[in-house]
Every structure is written in structure tokens, then in C-alpha cells.
Chains A and B, each alone.
With several copies, the nearest count.
Chain A
Amino acid sequence: MSSSLHECCLKRSEAIRNEFPMLSVVENGHPMVYFNNAATAMTPKSVINAMTEYYEEYGVNIARGVDAIGYRATHLFEATRVKVADFLGAERSDSVVFTRGTTAALNLVCSSFGNLVVEAGDEIIVSGGEHHANYIPWQQLAKNKGAQLVLAELDEDGKVTPEALQKAMTPKTKLVALFHISNVMGAVHDVKALAKVAHDGGAYFVCDGAQGIVHDQINVVETDVDFYAFSGHKLFGPTGVGVLYGKYDLLKRMPPIEFGGEMISLVDVYDTTFADPPHRFEAGTMPIAEVIGLGKAIDYVNRYGYCAMQRRVEYLTSIAVEKLQAQPNVTIYNPHNYASGIICFNIEGIHPHDAAGIYDREGISLRAGHHCSQPMMRELKQFATLRASLAFYNTEEEVERFVEATEMAGDFLDILF
């Protein structure tokens, strides 16, 4: 990580801000403050340019035929697989499957692997802090199989401790599916410890890394997760692409769930033999530009280094939390979780969407709603919350403006006039 910037440099660096074109957007007359990074992060120029280059210079299909232009596309596509594997600390690149996103990746594990291993009477453990993408698939699988969905207990920070997971485990537990970082509470799981508890109890461990990949370097070998999923668009990459990492011997056992071009070995009239992983799970034309763009996003993260990004996010989040806490009508549901840049809060007596209207008027983009986690809302006993989510390219001034806007939230009807 020798090439990564130190915090001080990062702070001063206009260069970083220039790399993200969306940072210059003016929203309702104000330079936009984008505090909705946990929904979708901004995309640096290098990623956008790489995709434009694909469409302008070698925008062809991959893995089909042997001409030079097709080889360039195929090569860059497959080189990205290697890059992703390195990024995750995976031992082999063919344990990296490209998907449409985290949701598709988790659904793939569930409908293929889950369907294979879970039987009636088994138990599947999730938490109430899961995003719907890591909750509903398991819930539906349990329902269809006659298995039992079990919710591990959350502590007050919104995470499952290894002890809590241990308590939820029984001899019937077949699989544990938990987030790496929560998208509502920003809680950070000790993935390695949780995976160990699961494995020691004879269960598989699936990790939803949609938020985790952004803020916390994962090593799939050290943590020993069986599956890990994430999306491009949250990691400064494009929409339409995501990754499922799986241990190769597990992938190897999994049947494909989509059928089409490039995933077959031999198609006979009444049956088909399928290619090995990862291609077995990559039917049809892949999101080629998007995979290449994701590779550039990973280059970007590697260039700056997790360390510098993390420090910056924690710093910004801590001052935002401190200033918000000074406002008596603000309730912060996760006052201790700085690492993810996520602040989950409400303003007393003001519907979160009404408050969001004021933030919007002030050019501040954040999110109001259930954040695709109705189970978590139930745990918080809220219909909805506000969520500010910060990235390393945000600034103190932006935090200031955010806090000021919070003070105006009571005038929510003003937006109508």
C-alpha cells in the first residue's frame, strides 16, 4: 500500500474531487452534497473512460471465436476476474463468478447451492439486520423446503456477535448468511469469527459484502467464508455488474440456474453437459463493459488504499455524528458505527421523507425509507429512517451543510412554495 495517500494529502486533494465528475453537479441551486453513497457510489472518470473505450474501440462479444479484437475484449474481461480474485485474496480466479449485482449473486448461491444442501427440518440463520437481498431468498428457500429460518440476535450496535451466533446454532443449522457491514446500521461484523462459529457447527457461511467491500478489506481465505457477494456500483464501479466469490469445490458441486450460450460443454438433443465454474454460471452475453469498468474501480481502490479511505470516512462520520447529537430533536440509531460512513437517524416529529425534502432543497442527497430492510426497521421500531452515508471524497464543508440543513428540517412544508 505504498502508493496510497495519507489522510492529510487525501484531505487537501482537489485532484480526488476532480476525478469524480458527479461531485460538480449543482442540485436545486447548490453544489450537490452526495451523502447517499451506500445506495450507489460515484464513479471516477477512469471507470467511465474504460467503458467508453470498450464501446468505441473493441465493443465486441467475448469468448467466441479467435480474432484479435475479440481476444482483446475476452482478455480484459478475464483479466478482471484475476484482478477481483486478487482483490478478495482468493486463491484461484475461477472461483470468481460475474453476476448482475449482489442481489443476483446471493440469489445464485441460494437457488443453486442452498437448494442443493438445505433439507426439510434444517435451519438457516440470518439476522434481522440483513438487506432484503440476503433475507428474502433464504426465507423463501426455508419456506419451500420446510426448513426453519432463524434470526440471530443483534446487539445494540446492530451486529451479531460470535457469541450470539453460537447461541443461535443448533445441530440442524445448515447455513448461516450474514452481512459484512450492515446497510442500515453500518455495523461491522467480525466475519472471520462468525465463519468459524458456523463452520465449527458444521454449517456453511455466506457473506453479503455489498457494503463491506467498500469499507473493509476482505480476505476470503483468511476469513474462510464459503461465499462472498458484492456489487460494482457501490464500489465506485458501474451498475449492472456484481461478483459472487465461492470456494471452488463448492461451486463445482452447484448446478447452473440459467442456461444459454457459453455455459455449456455439449448440448445434446435431450440433455446438456455444462462447463466448469465460473463459466457454468455465466450464461449468455455478460455485462462486458461493466466487468471491465469494475476492474478499473478496483484499480482505483487499490491505488488509494483502503487505509486512507477508511480513515477519511471515519473522521468525517465522527464529526457529523457529534454535530447531529448536539441537536436535541435528532435520534441517531447507530451512534458508534463510524467505519461505514452510515448514519441512521430520525428527527422527532418529522416524517423522514419530509425531512428529505428539505435536504433535497438544500442540495443534499441522502436517503429516507426502510433501506430495503424491513426486518431492521422492525427491530428499530420505526417505519422508516433517514440515512446519510459518507464516502472518502466528501468534505468537512459538506458535513457542515448537512448539519445546517438538519436544523431547517422543521420547515418541511416550505418546499411546496
Chain B
Amino acid sequence: MSKQRKWQVISLTYSSNQSQKDNSANAQLFKKIIMDHYRNPRNKGLVEDDEYVTIFLRNPSCGDDLTVQVKANGDKIESIRQYGTGCSICCSSASMMSELLASKTLTEAAQLINQFYLMVEAKPYDEEALGDAISLQGVAKLPQRIKCATLGWKACEEALGKIQEEQADDSASK
């Protein structure tokens, strides 16, 4: 199943009025995607490499934590690593984030992070852009789990901020 195809299915389902059956078929697909990221997390494990910016975040409502590492090259993200202890929503979301944002520009990544926030807050968002992450749209009706879903994205957001700071410092000192 190519990425392209997954997107199509999804946007199809969500732009038309769906029957109960379509809905549950959709749910099955989303569940598969989430479970896949949960069981086979992408980019999992940290590296000891100074070129990465490392952010450690704790979810205060449960005590779980997550570390995200981002390496950029100019205005492009080169690699994202993630590691933590968290629930299925948190871990799968971090995995999706790491996959989606890698190789994006800093600006694109920031926009996608925002799209993700919009989605989980039940606001209009760009379905096409979020890749596998739209499988987590159900979080919008579980406000108490928003922190789980966004932990990885928040960490990445902080990392991007830090990268931009560093780059600004670098260019200033040049």
C-alpha cells in the first residue's frame, strides 16, 4: 500500500457522507495504521550525536515521557529520532511525526505540526497533508488524551525552535 493510496482512501472517506459500513471500514484501516506504528515504531532510539538537538518532554497528566532528536541541514530536516515510555497514542503519534516531518523544510514541518494540533482540537485542518497521522483524528473526541497525541509534536516543535535560534546565532556571529 503506497502512501499515495492511503491518502486517497482517507480523503475520499472524509469528503463524502459515509454509511456506517464505510465508517467502520475506515476505523479498521486507521486502527491498523496506528497499531503498525505502535508495534513497529519508526525512527525509534536515540543517538549520541551533537548535530542533533535533543528535547525531553514529560506528560504531566500521566508521568510518561518522550525524547525527540532532530538534525537539520540548513532549512531542511535531515533526521528525527524518538524514544519514550508512553501509551499507544503517544508512541504511535511520535512515530508518525518522525516519519512525516523527516526531510521536510523547517517551515513545512512547523506548518504540519500546526495542522496536527488543529486536527486533535477538532478544528478544520488539511487532511491531505498529515499522512498516517490522520489516523489519530479520533483524539479530537478524547480531550483528555490530546496531551498524549501531541507530546511528540510538541517536542519536535521545541527542537525546531532551538534549531532556528542556533542558526540565527550562527549567522549573527558570522
For residue B141, which residue of chain A has the nearest CB?
Answer: A416
- Known A-B contacts A413-B34, A417-B27; the reply to A369 vs B62 at CB < 8 A is yes
Count chain A residues whose beta carbon lies closer than 8 angstroms to a beta carbon of B: 29
Task: Give which listed residue, B31, B61, B136, B145, contacts A357 with CB less than 8 A.
Answer: B145
B161 at the interface (CB under 8 A from A): no
For residue A63, which residue of chain B has the nearest CB?
Answer: B61
A-side contacts of B89, CB under 8 Å = 354, 416
A368 at the interface (CB under 8 A from B): yes
Q: Are B138 and A417 in contact (CB under 8 A)?
A: yes
Task: Give which listed residue, B24, B31, B61, B86, contacts A65 with CB less than 8 A.
Answer: B61
A1 at the interface (CB under 8 A from B): no
For residue B139, which residue of chain A has the nearest CB?
Answer: A416
The interface bits of chain B over 1-31 (1 if a CB of A lies within 8 angstroms of the residue's CB, else 0) are: 0000000000000000000000010010011
A-side contacts of B87, CB under 8 Å = 351, 353-354, 357
- Known A-B contacts A354-B87, A354-B88, A383-B64; the reply to A413 vs B31 at CB < 8 A is yes
Q: Are B61 and A66 in contact (CB under 8 A)?
A: yes
The interface bits of chain A over 338-368 (1 if a CB of B lies within 8 angstroms of the residue's CB, else 0) are: 0000000000000101100100000000001
B124 at the interface (CB under 8 A from A): no
A412 at the interface (CB under 8 A from B): yes
A-side contacts of B144, CB under 8 Å = 66-68, 70-71, 74
Within 8 A of A (CB), among B46-65: 58, 60-64
A354–B35 CA distance with the chains assembled, in angstroms: 12
For residue A417, which residue of chain B has the nearest CB?
Answer: B27
Task: Give which listed residue, A68, A275, A384, contacts B62 with CB less than 8 A.
Answer: A384
A217 at the interface (CB under 8 A from B): no
B-side contacts of A66, CB under 8 Å = 61-62, 144-145, 148
Q: Are A368 and B62 in contact (CB under 8 A)?
A: yes
A67–B138 CA distance with the chains assembled, in angstroms: 16
A412–B142 CA distance with the chains assembled, in angstroms: 13
A417–B32 CA distance with the chains assembled, in angstroms: 12
A279 at the interface (CB under 8 A from B): yes
B85 at the interface (CB under 8 A from A): yes
Given A63-B60, A383-B64, A416-B31, 15 further pairs, Cβ under 8 A: A63-B61, A66-B144, A66-B145, A68-B144, A70-B144, A74-B144, A75-B143, A275-B60, A353-B148, A354-B89, A370-B63, A384-B62, A416-B136, A416-B138, A417-B138
Interchain residue pairs with CB less than 8 A apart (19): A64-B61, A66-B144, A74-B144, A275-B60, A351-B86, A353-B87, A354-B88, A354-B89, A357-B87, A357-B145, A369-B63, A370-B63, A384-B62, A384-B64, A413-B31, A415-B138, A416-B31, A416-B136, A417-B30
Closest 7 CB pairs of A and B: A416-B138, A71-B144, A417-B27, A353-B87, A351-B87, A66-B144, A354-B87
